[in-house]
Amino acid sequence: MRTSRRPGADLTDALGTRHPIVQGPFGGGLSTVALVAAVSEAGGLGSYGVHAMAPEDIGPLVEAIRAATSAPFAVNLWTPRPDEERPIPDATALAAHTDRLALHYAEFGLTPPNLAQANARIDFDAQLDAVLAARPPVISVVMGPPPRRLVEGARSIGAPIVGTATTVAEARVLEETGCDVIVASGSDAGGHRGSFLAPVRESLVGTFSLIPQVRDAVSVPVVAAGGIADGRGVAAALTLGADGVQVGTGFLRTPESGASPAHREALSFEGARSTVLTRLFSGRPARGIANALVRGMADAEDRVPPYPAQNNLMLPIRARAAASGRADRLNLWSGQAALLASGASAGDYLSALVAEAEKVLGTPL
144 and 128 together in one domain? yes
* Residue 210 in domain: yes
Give the pLDDT confidence score for residue 3 in this predicted structure. 52
93 and 81 together in one domain? no
Residue 102: is it exposed, middle or buried by C-beta count within 10 angstroms (0-12/13-18/19+)?
Answer: exposed
305 and 347 together in one domain? no
- Residue 91 belongs to domain spanning: 87-120+268-340
Q: What is the pLDDT of residues 312-334, one digit of tens each?
A: 999 999 999 999 999 999 999 99
78 and 115 together in one domain? no
Give the pLDDT confidence score for residue 67 in this predicted structure. 98
* Residue 260 in domain: no
* Residue 261 in domain: no
Averaged confidence pLDDT in the chain: 96
Under the banding of pLDDT at 50, 70 and 90, the label for residue 354 is very high
Is residue 176 scored above 50 in pLDDT? yes
Q: What is the mean pLDDT of residues 154-158?
A: 98
CA dihedral in degrees (196, 190, 118, 127; nearest 10)? -70
Give the pLDDT confidence score for residue 2 in this predicted structure. 52
Give the pLDDT confidence score for residue 160 in this predicted structure. 98
How many domains, the chain?
A: 2
109 and 186 together in one domain? no
Give the pLDDT confidence score for residue 1 in this predicted structure. 43
Q: What is the pLDDT of residues 218-247, one digit of tens each?
A: 999 999 999 999 999 999 999 999 999 999
169 and 275 together in one domain? no
Is residue 4 scored above 70 in pLDDT? no
52 and 191 together in one domain? yes
223 and 333 together in one domain? no
* Residue 114 in domain: yes
* Residue 222 in domain: yes
Percentage of the chain exceeding pLDDT 90: 96
230 and 102 together in one domain? no
* Residue 180 in domain: yes
* Residue 262 in domain: no
34 and 156 together in one domain? yes
219 and 274 together in one domain? no
* Residue 163 in domain: yes
Q: What is the pLDDT of residues 52-93, one digit of tens each?
A: 999 999 999 999 999 999 999 999 999 998 878 789 999 999
Is residue 132 scored above 70 in pLDDT? yes
Q: What's 235's domain CATH number?
A: 3.20.20.70
15 and 156 together in one domain? yes
